[in-house]
Amino acid sequence: MLKFISHSFDGMDGIEIYPIISLLLFFIVFITMLIIVIKLPKNKVDEISQLPLENETNSKQNNYE
């Protein structure tokens, strides 16, 4: 399968830059998200971690009322 794909791209000029661009884009997004997560304040992380539990609790309370 890989031979079929690589054979299709042999005739294209400048195609070798696309894997480099995609790898750089991936790492830029990954590093950016890592920095954002590391800089989040502890109270915001606690608030976000409780969201699924609060939503479930609220819907159970609404069903019993």
Beta carbons of 44 and 50 less than 8 angstroms apart: no
Looking at 1-65, list the stretches that DSSP marks H as alpha helix, in order from N- to C-terminal side: 2-9, 17-39, 42-64
41 in any annotated domain? yes
7 in any annotated domain? no
Looking at residue 30, its pLDDT comes to 98
Looking at residue 57, its pLDDT comes to 54
39 in any annotated domain? yes
Domain that holds residue 45: 15-64
Summarised one tens digit per residue, pLDDT across range 13-61 is: 778 888 899 999 999 999 999 999 999 999 998 888 888 876 555 555 5
Total count of domains within the chain: 1
DSSP character for 40? S
34 in any annotated domain? yes
- pTM, rounded to two decimals: 0.56
23 in any annotated domain? yes
28 in any annotated domain? yes
Task: Look up residue 34 and give its two tokens.
Answer: 């890592």
